[in-house]
Amino acid sequence: MGRRQGRSGAGENGAVHENEPGRQLLVLPDRDTAEEVAADVVRRWPELGEPELVRESLAGEDDAEDAQWLVVLTPPGGGWPDGLLTALDALAAAYDGWREDA
């Protein structure tokens, strides 16, 4: 049996990547927001464990004000449960951020 590669097609529920393993990044505008989102993730989805917070400077910027903060999430077990990535999208958007594949 072959292993499914990348995002070649939608799954049964139409979600292409919901069950594929891989870290996810919630990109947020500042540290306080990232800390708040990380705490919310732990409260809502304790199975994800403690997220990692990472400061990411914008290209060419040295000022601490010109940085984004990442909440790094690792999938539980065999991948992301159906609907969880969509819920993470909504959570990040509620804090003026977004989700990216790591």
User: Which residue in 102, 101, 96, 100 sits closest to 28, CA to CA?
Assistant: 96
- pLDDT score, position 12: 35
pTM above 0.85, yes or no: no
Q: Between the CA of residue 91 and those of 36, 58, 62, 70, 99, what are the distances in Å? A: 11, 22, 28, 13, 9
Class of domain 24-101 as given by CATH:
alpha beta
pLDDT digits (tens, 9 = 90+) for 50-97: 999 999 876 655 555 568 999 999 998 878 999 999 999 999 999 999
Span of 21-25, 26-30, 31-35, 72-76 with lowest mean pLDDT = 21-25
Q: Between the CA of residue 48 and those of 3, 15, 18, 68, 90, what are the distances in Å? A: 25, 20, 15, 22, 17
Beta strand spans in the chain (E)? 24-28, 52-57, 67-73, 98-101
